[in-house]
Structure 1
Amino acid sequence: MKRIALPFLTLSDDSVLLSDWTIGEPDQPRFPLAETLEDWDYEKNLEIGVEVTVDLDRAALDLSLDATSLKLAAVLVVGTGAGSLPRVTHHACIRILDLENTCVRLETTLAGHTLSSQLYFEIRILLHGPITSGNQLSPRFKGAKLWQTDLRVLIEDGGGSRFPIELTSFTDSFQGMPEQNAPWYVQWDPSNFHADFGGNVRLYVNADIEEVAQRFADGDQLLLQAIVADVMTQMITTALDQENEDDFLASFEEGSIGQQTRVWIETAFKGQNYQSISVLRRSYPGRFHASILAAAELGDEE
């Protein structure tokens, strides 16, 4: 926790006590948070929480400050995304600690569609006051970081890019819309390749078409291959339509729509640059689409 020496006194680990982290769906029982979040559903929100208790008398000694006027801020920072640094973070909850309130609960609701790869939770204890007392080594600025700890939770399989597939009645969901009679429909935002693939790409299969619904339920490999190829084609062609397409997908983060599209392009068109792929698309559209369809082959499950 203390990798660097700060120019002011900080809290000792003995001054701060954390309860076990808990997690659960809204209005449902909470369970201890494990290292891996199993059976995760993008469509469901999650509530997480932890109790933070600070021994104010000990903390005052640590900081050489008066316990009666000492106020601390406990902050919960939440992040998500692959890699050692979360791609998205935000301050989810802040609570004030003092002699009258030495235990607080930090909690927040996580929107399922925004999560990707792993969850990152950080608790920070900051100085809230006083800022004009103590000795030369006491912290003097509001917001000075006095203590921190973090926790990482793997989402299911590590967040490998996937998307939720829902079998639904298109008559109910898309009545009067062009997609009502389509066998499937892919919903995504082509203007936001930075978005998390898992939380922002959704596939609907039409339950009103009995043969399609049954083949989907049976895990028919050819049907699934065609569906995946359709998703790949939409994203690859959109990427190829961008200006400076050679550089367009170069910097997208792991787990994003852009990164997954780049992987698909490299898989379907091995060794080819974007210019040659664009020429293939214009001059030999059959070969272009067949290459994507072949790359979408799922293989037999063992």
Structure 2
Amino acid sequence: MSRLALPYRTPPATVVVPEGWRLVLGDEELPLPEALDDWDYQMDVELRRAVRIDVPRARAGAGLPADAVLGLAAIWTATGSNLRGCLRRVPLTGDGVQDIELRGTLRGVDLGGVLTLDTVLVLSGVSSTHAPFAPHRAGSLLWSDQATLRLQGDAPQFPMTVIDFEHTSFPTEAAWHLQIGAHLHSAAMGSLLLLVNERNETVATAFANAGKPRAVDRAVLSMVYADCARIMLEHALQQEQFVDGADFPEDSLGATLTNLFHRLFPGSTVHDLRLRREHSPSLFASELQAATQIFKEA
């Protein structure tokens, strides 16, 4: 394993004693899992962890004076949205051993893909005096660790919102509608939007309970995701540029549809699937139903 070689002194790793990240679900907490299979863009992610820091030892180990201001921060990055931000930042100005809680809530609409959590101890305040080879620039990294949470499972994921279909051009009694762009080279995040009709309490409640779904919620979500997969694949097969070997930009709509195709129909070709849909639509529907494993864990 490679290690980052910094051009200045850093304290021993033992000055920081972190507990593991925990996922907060209502009144319950659980250790951060590898994946959150029931997540969707409607579900915010609340996280917390406790960290104990021996501040005087951290300063001394880095060759910093006693008045140096340190900072502890949790930085998040989401591959699905290409967004990055700070979950929490805490200045460390006192002495002695300090117990810090890093806690915050990330909006589901800002996430997707793999969520990376970097916890970092940095030099916050620049000191006029410092020992040789000691860090002296604000932001100098003194300690860090990293954890990940996969939010994007096998189901197609995209931004969503709950609205009243009464004020739209969609049928008032429809439960949901997937908006999908026509340009395959456009960014996927701006080309897909799942609209859920708030008038349909069964579906709206299922998405509201996505973090802790009941059996009926799992069944509804399974149906929605299967239908969205159908719409996305049918949309792809109608596009002339969606062919075997097509090269679409990363995170584009075309790349998202290509990944979905290969995940649901591994070993098949776009040409063969397009022919089956044209000449045997009922077989195509059944194969897609099987590929999405609808109701498998409902």
Q: For the superposition of Structure 1 and Structure 2, which TM-score range results when normalised by the shorter chain?
A: 0.5 to 0.7
TM-score normalised by the chain length of structure 1 = 0.66
Task: Report the structure number with the largest CA radius of gyration.
Answer: 1
Deviation at 1:291, TM superposition (A): 8.7
Deviation at 1:29, TM superposition (A): 2.4
Match of 2:68 in 1: 70
Match of 1:49 in 2: 48
Deviation at 1:139, TM superposition (A): 0.4
TM-score normalised by the chain length of structure 2 = 0.67
CA–CA distance in structure 2, aligned partners of residues 70 and 2 of structure 1: 29
Counterpart mapping for 1:184-203 below 5 A: 185-188=176-179, 190=181, 193-195=187-189, 200-201=193-194
- Aligned partner of residue 171 in structure 2, secondary structure: helix
CA–CA distance in structure 2, aligned partners of residues 218 and 112 of structure 1: 22
- Aligned partner of residue 124 in structure 2, secondary structure: strand
Q: Which amino acid aligns with 1:175?
A: E
The answer to whether the 8 A contact 1:225-1:298 is kept is no
1:74–1:207: structure 2 CA closer, same or farther, 3 Å change rule?
closer
Q: Which amino acid aligns with 2:8?
A: F
Deviation at 1:182, TM superposition (A): 6.4
Is residue 2:298 matched to residue 1:298? no
Match of 2:259 in 1: 263
Deviation per CA, 1:49-102, whole angstroms, max 9, x where unpaired? Answer: 2233321221122011222x12112121112337xxx95432232221122594
CA–CA distance in structure 2, aligned partners of residues 133 and 288 of structure 1: 78
**Number of residues of Structure 1 aligned to a counterpart in Structure 2:** 269
Deviation at 1:200, TM superposition (A): 4.9
Q: Point out where structure 1 has 5 or more consecutive residues left out of the alignment.
A: 209-215
CA–CA distance in structure 2, aligned partners of residues 287 and 223 of structure 1: 26
2:103 to 102, 107, 117: 107
CA–CA distance in structure 2, aligned partners of residues 64 and 224 of structure 1: 55
The answer to whether the 8 A contact 1:74-1:123 is kept is yes
Deviation at 1:120, TM superposition (A): 1.6
CA–CA distance in structure 1, aligned partners of residues 32 and 218 of structure 2: 31
The answer to whether the 8 A contact 2:56-2:95 is kept is no
Deviation per CA, 1:125-178, whole angstroms, max 9, x where unpaired? Answer: 1111233312221001111111100112344xx6223359x9x9xxx9312533
Deviation at 1:272, TM superposition (A): 5.4
- Aligned partner of residue 179 in structure 1, secondary structure: coil
The answer to whether the 8 A contact 2:87-2:106 is kept is no
Q: Which amino acid aligns with 1:48?
A: L
Is residue 2:153 matched to residue 1:162? no
Q: Which amino acid aligns with 1:3?
A: R
Deviation per CA, 1:204-233, whole angstroms, max 9, x where unpaired? Answer: 69959xxxxxxx9988x9999776433422
The answer to whether the 8 A contact 1:122-1:150 is kept is yes
Match of 1:175 in 2: 166
Counterpart mapping for 1:222-261 below 5 A: 228-237=229-238, 240=239, 250-253=248-251, 257-261=253-257
Deviation at 1:109, TM superposition (A): 1.0
Deviation at 1:196, TM superposition (A): 9.6
Q: Point out where structure 2 has 5 or more consecutive residues left out of the alignment.
A: 202-216
1:289–1:184: structure 2 CA closer, same or farther, 3 Å change rule?
farther
Q: Which amino acid aligns with 1:110?
A: L
Match of 1:116 in 2: 112
Q: Which amino acid aligns with 2:257?
A: T
1:146–1:235: structure 2 CA closer, same or farther, 3 Å change rule?
same
CA–CA distance in structure 1, aligned partners of residues 6 and 119 of structure 2: 18
The answer to whether the 8 A contact 2:188-2:256 is kept is no
The answer to whether the 8 A contact 1:268-1:292 is kept is no
Counterpart mapping for 1:86-165 below 5 A: 87-99=82-94, 102-155=98-151, 159-163=153-157
Q: Which amino acid aligns with 1:159?
A: G
